[in-house]
Amino acid sequence: MTALAVVRPSGCPPALESGMRLSGREFDWRYEQRDDLRAELVQGVVYVSSPVRIDEHAEPNAVAVAWVKNYAVTHRETRAATNGTARLSEDDRVQPDAMLWKRTGGSATVAEDHYMDGGPELVVEVTASSKAYDLGPKMESYRQAGVQEYVIWMTEEWRIIWYSLEDSLYRELQPGPDGWTESRVFPGLRLHIPRLLDGDDSVILPGAS
């Protein structure tokens, strides 16, 4: 007996649900037709984002974006962005909460279709309940793509960890005697994590002391 083909109603967008396993090309095709959700492909598995809370994600995300953008404004050899699609590999399509990369000579390029190919030098992710995902498969995808620095802000624990890629492994950057943690990739990019967690947003400004 011949199996019946499943016919999708005309005008119905293609399915894109958490847990689906797709190739990068199939994910791209489906995602381009869905403007009603935010999704990522991590190691071939689809992750669809949940609604975003203000305190747990949206406001810390704004701080992270301002931090990298302030740096890019004063360092024209770099670019900064938020929520842009980065094609890390055939099995990885991610949208970092904030990212910073070199305009030329770096590991990432903006392609003709205006998506990113490769991993930016620095990525920031703000996470609450999805921390296992951001510290698990997504972190591994960033490592494999050669993302040099990975900053993760865990809002349930109210903790920030700044990782640096050393010998193909992520290791936590340690602050200096003055409490400031500094990038090894971008000269002058630094963050006083304890003060930021205490509510002092001024530490993201250029020249803050």
Class of domain 52-204: alpha beta
Place of tokens 């011949």: 2
Exposure of 188 in the CB half-sphere (CA atoms within 13 A): 12
Tell me the percentage of the chain whose pLDDT exceeds 70.
Answer: 93
Q: How many residues does the chain have?
A: 209
The tokens describing 88, both together, are 């890390």
Full DSSP string of 118-173: S--SEEEEEESTTHHHHTTHHHHHHHHTT-SEEEEEETTTTEEEEEEEETTEEEEP
Alpha helices in the chain (DSSP H): 24-32, 59-74, 131-134, 137-144, 193-197
- Does 1 have pLDDT greater than 70? no
Tell me the percentage of the chain whose pLDDT exceeds 90.
Answer: 84
- Report how far residue 56's alpha carbon sits from residue 143's, in angstroms, rounded to the nearest whole number: 25
* H-run or E-run covering 191: strand 190-191
Which residues contact residue 177 at a Cβ distance below 8 angstroms, ignoring those fewer than 6 apart? Answer: none
| Of residues 81 and 9, more confidently modeled | 81
Q: Write down the pTM of the prediction.
A: 0.88
- Report how far residue 143's alpha carbon sits from residue 148's, in angstroms, rounded to the nearest whole number: 8
Q: What is the mean pLDDT of residues 73-90?
A: 97
Q: What is the pLDDT of residue 51?
A: 84
Q: What is the pLDDT of residue 206?
A: 86
- Does 165 have pLDDT greater than 60? yes
Q: Are 115 and 86 in contact (CB under 8 A)?
A: yes
Q: What are phi and psi of 182, to 5 degrees?
A: -120, 145
Q: Where are the domains of the chain?
A: 52-204
